[in-house]
Amino acid sequence: MQERKRLQDYLGVYASGFAMGSADVVPGVSGGTIAFIVGIYEELIGSIRMVGRPVFWRALLGLQWREAVRLINLAFLVTLLAGIATAIVLLAPGIEWMLVHQPVIIWSFFFGLVLASITLVAPRVKVWSLGRWVALVAGVVGAYWLVGLTPVQTPEDWWFLMLSGAIAICAMILPGISGSFILVLLGKYQFFINAVNQRDLASIALGGIGAAIGLVSFAQVLSWLFRRYHDLTVAALTGLMIGSLRKVWPWKETVATIVDRHGEEVPLIQRNFIPPFFVEGTVNMEIVFALAAALLGVAIVLLVERMAMARGQEEK
């Protein structure tokens, strides 16, 4: 747990939350990846874990407010969540528009972001043993399989909205596995995007309650894994990020569609393809723009990493 006393320290946490929220809006991109890059991932998991520990509840029920706040690192969590919420509310309409009208550009940007993230996370494994290579491959295969699953039609009852929130949040804090994509698989991504845009507070609250329960529960498992098997866990998470590249590949062709609850035809099954570099004897400008967007994603990740390293050196 880092000690923060200056305003700029919390502005950095808020900016990290904003970046995480921006990523979490897009199916295929994980806010957990951003947390890993900026160096707050293990602190985040540890802080959430404390909410489910008896020592926190003893302090809370014993009216030891200051101790309870310290145990869960409340200032850090509130600042981070404020950044995430701000990004979701502000960016959801814009990203939704980009996914419909400029899908290649937005997916190229996030492909570059995830690709650069992999190169920064993988070196955090101190020694690459056989077991860690196996964990990496297992993560790659698992994520590659998961992101290729076909979305399903599901109910909109209160219990399923809570269940969707709980499952999605568990994926959301895993680097490489997108909580938004899990919502797509559960048939609830568009539902929750509409709920945010239309300020449907009841649906948002149900999803939020489920997410809170899932988050605190899953954080116990992740925190234990990091304490006991740090390098093995990082290797597996790196594999998840590599496997998720299948989902964020920019060029897709739709092979099956379905009519959603609004009567609109939406893609059900998509297949990746490689576009031609030349079209009618000239360079395919879509590829040029896509490469520019991907390089922008790479540059942002490298910039964020450099800022995180600089902040860490200042604290030392």
* Residue pLDDT tens, the chain, 316 long: 556 666 677 888 898 888 888 877 776 667 887 887 777 888 888 888 888 888 888 888 888 888 888 888 888 999 999 998 898 888 877 877 887 788 899 889 888 888 887 888 888 888 899 999 999 999 999 888 877 776 666 777 888 889 888 888 887 777 666 677 778 777 787 788 778 778 888 888 998 899 888 888 888 888 888 888 889 988 988 888 888 888 888 998 888 776 665 666 667 677 888 888 888 888 888 899 999 999 998 888 788 777 767 766 665 5
Residue 269 falls in which region: left (phi positive, over 0), alpha (psi -120 to 50) or beta: beta
Distance CA 107, CA 109 (A): 5
Overall pTM > 0.75 = no
Query: What local confidence, expressed as pLDDT, does residue 140 receive?
Result: 92
Distance CA 281, CA 302 (A): 36
Structure tokens at 245: 């590249």
Q: In the chain, where do the E strands start and end?
A: 252-259, 265-272, 278-279, 282-283
Question: What residue ranges do the domains of the chain occupy?
Answer: 7-315
Query: What local confidence, expressed as pLDDT, does residue 188 receive?
Result: 80
117 SS3 class = helix
Query: What local confidence, expressed as pLDDT, does residue 133 receive?
Result: 95
Q: Helix H segments across 102-157?
A: 103-121, 130-146
Query: What local confidence, expressed as pLDDT, does residue 64 receive?
Result: 87
Closest CA to 48 of 207, 219, 227: 219
Strands 252-259 and 265-272: antiparallel
